[in-house]
Structure 1
Amino acid sequence: MLIKKSVLQSIASGDIDLAFRCWKRPTVKQGGTLRTAIGVLAIESIEAITRQKITDEDSRRAGYASRSELLEGLSGREGTVFRISLCLSGDDPRAALAQQQPTPEELVALDRRLRRLKWAIDVLLLIHRWPGRRAPDLADEFGLPTDRFKPRVRRLKEFGLTKSLKVGYELSPRGRCVPEHLERGQA
């Protein structure tokens, strides 16, 4: 579920606590979480509703000036309309992990995990070599379509090794330790 940065900021401030989406099937579930640029969102509830049941109050709580503005945003989209109640529930744990320097033991374990993925060290070194480079350019350099390259970078982010920039990626402080140790033959 993609959410615009301005909407995320309004969720963080408590001004927005609803979202509406048209889906063939929901991509979130009640009780689930969603990691975003501002932290982790809690999905408090999700329900299928008709457009007719959307109220002015719902529209305001979703950040729209009016019901008609919200409905216009949903127009032309196929699927069922879902009303999603959400709130900011905490920081993204990957952000804290990305700042932590790995211990020597963690580096050994990380090295093993990355080598099992085969592509991981090459992608990490590519980002290390070209921080801030556009994802399509990195993907081309790696020899994959962008839509297959990006999930690999997200996987590295799960380990706290990369972070997204406005354009491209860079290694996190934790991630910068890996190439340093690879160069010394210690990872």
Structure 2
Amino acid sequence: MLLPKAVCEGIAEGRVTQAFRRWDKPRVKVGGTQLTPVGTVAFDAVEPADESTLTERDAELAGLKNLATLHKMLARTEGDLYRITLRLAGPDPRVALRELIPEPVEIEALTAKMDRMDKGSPTGPWTREVLRWIRDHPGIVSTEMAAALDRERWALKTDVRRLKTLGLTISLEVGYLLSPRGEAYLAATEPKKRVRRSRAVAPAAGVDGSTAPKATDGSAPVRKARARRTSTT
């Protein structure tokens, strides 16, 4: 069930306690839950409703400006009208999960899950490819990711949400970011790069006779840090 951002915020604040939908049959179940940007929303009741009896208060509790706006929204869809009573049940469990660094047994379980996801995909294996792309391109708009991976954008966004459910990715306002859990998973499963050993060559001395740039405390060579590109626009 699609819940707009403003409605989700109203649910979190306790201002929105119901929603109205036209369906051929109920799409949510009493006692069911749904993950949203503000946390887990619970559905406490799903009941048939009569549009002719709706009031301004009903529109207000649904997060809408007025009753006319509610009638206009309902006119765009067909089916029986249902009143859904809802509330915020708690935080999004994925938020806590993404901070948990997986143990070896969890690494195996995650690998098995993603193997099944790859096997069931009509486009072929995708899970590790998407994780690596997000790691290397944090905060990049999904249209660029879809073009780079030769994927249909909306199908790809659905796949990324599946990785988010595993606690491996974080959704930004624009693009995505690997979670600490996702970073740890890739670090544990990707082949370690071999470092080629070469014959040591004495570096040229600097003006003061030193052979390497030092950190400000003189403890180690200064290395130029690579800035990580992120976006929260």
TM-score by length of 2: 0.73
**Matched length:** 186
1:90-126 CA distance string (max 9 Å, x none): 1111111011111233223323333442321111111
1:130 to 137, 141, 159: 137
Higher strand share: 1
Percent identity reads: 39
CA RMSD of aligned residues (A): 2.0
Partner of 2:66: 66
Larger CA Rg, structure 1 vs 2: 2
In 1, Cα distance between equivalents of 2:115 and 2:100: 21
In 1, Cα distance between equivalents of 2:186 and 2:65: 49
1:44-70 CA distance string (max 9 Å, x none): 111232321222321221123432221
Q: Secondary structure at the match of 2:3?
A: coil
In 1, Cα distance between equivalents of 2:27 and 2:80: 12
1:119-167 CA distance string (max 9 Å, x none): 2111111111111112222122222211221221111111100111111
Report deviation, 1:23: 3.0
Unaligned runs of at least 5 residues, structure 2: 119-124, 193-233
Structure number with greater CO (CA < 8 Å, separation at least 6) is: 1
Report deviation, 1:184: 4.7
Partner of 1:9: 9
Indicate if the aligned counterparts of 1:115 and 1:121 stay in contact, CA closer than 8 A.
no
Unaligned runs of at least 5 residues, structure 1: none
In 1, Cα distance between equivalents of 2:162 and 2:140: 18
In 2, Cα distance between equivalents of 1:62 and 1:19: 5
Matches within 5 A, 1:1-187: 1-116=1-116, 117=118, 118-185=125-192
Higher helix share: 1
* 2:181 counterpart letter in structure 1: R
